[in-house]
Amino acid sequence: MTRIYGSRKRILVTGGAGFVGSHLIDRLIDAGHEVLCVDNLFTGTKRNIDHLHNSPRFEFLRHDVTLPLYVEVDEIYNLACPASPVHYQHDPVQTTKTSVHGAINMLGLAKRLRCKILQASTSEVYGDPAIHPQTEEYWGHVNPIGPRSCYDEGKRCAETLFFDYHRQLNLEIKVARIFNTYGPRMHLADGRVVSNFIVQALNGNPITIYGDGSQTRSFCYVDDLVEGLIRLMETSSSVTGPINIGNPTEFTISELAQRILAMTGSSVPIVMMDLPQDDPRQRRPDITKARDVLGWEPKIDLKEGLRRTVEYFKEAM
């Protein structure tokens, strides 16, 4: 039973002023739901949600999920956590707290409200993977004491908490493992490869590739990701995940750099730098479960997604 009349739901999105969260809220508002956006604005920005403030079905609350939250909602999307190495390594202790304490607080809220909750987990739970592509059954190859572990292990612990709440308290959970995602509203200083390359190319600065450029990634456009998250939330209670959501088409970092140079019309040089510690060599999702369970697969290819993203960065800069 929803807390408001009809089919409209009141939905909480933590991290809602962030890159992915703001796109998710757009979709939920367009679908006719009421949305409570919760964000402490560490990496999120009000600019991402400015266009929603005139909507009577949108509400913003500045709040840190490491602290308890008492609200009344029908569903929870837990997206709160800095997601790029530059940001999550800035305050690694707080990053771990956001993943772990944040999960505990949101799970406690879901328990009290008897509502379902979705955890935005990450492909980083696989670490520097020893199998390729990565299936949900793979347990990962993660350094628990490295500079990335605040995020990797924080998200792994959050998954543990979600499944323990499910087993012990019969809480309805959904866990999505999100692979590299890009698109409009990425932070200009995000530090991840797509935004880095675009900003460098548009500013006329050399493009910096860490390593020899042969390492691979798969890039999912944000609209496709949001569709996958919503489909996962709408599954029956028997579906918990984890389910990989990402684009299985793989590119080398060097290929990505050349595509962005061509798209921006830039002729800046490419500079090779040392690979950061624990940076994964390969990352590509096996999305068999997403296809079979959600009827989902990405629709927007890299060429079109980059075109939209470059246009956004041109305006934002």
Catalytic residues: 151
Compute the distance between CA of residue 240 and CA of residue 63 in angstroms, rounded to an integer: 27
Task: Give the pair of three-digit tokens for residue 233.
Answer: 């939330």
Compute the distance between CA of residue 289 and CA of residue 228 in angstroms, rounded to an integer: 11
Contact 75, 3 (CB under 8 A): no
Name the phi and psi angles at 147, rounded to 5. -70, -20
Q: Which DSSP symbol is given to 134?
A: B
Contact 228, 188 (CB under 8 A): no
Compute the distance between CA of residue 51 and CA of residue 32 in angstroms, rounded to an integer: 16
Contact 157, 81 (CB under 8 A): no
Compute the distance between CA of residue 207 and CA of residue 269 in angstroms, rounded to an integer: 6
Q: In terms of C-beta density within 10 A (0-12 exposed, 13-18 middle, 19 or more buried), how is residue 314 classed?
A: exposed
Contact 3, 72 (CB under 8 A): yes
What are residue 134's DSSP bridge partners?
A: 285
Helices (H), 141-216: 149-169, 193-203
Q: Which DSSP symbol is given to 79?
A: -
Helices (H), the chain: 19-30, 85-88, 92-113, 149-169, 193-203, 222-233, 253-264, 288-289, 302-316
Name the phi and psi angles at 31, rounded to 5. -80, -5
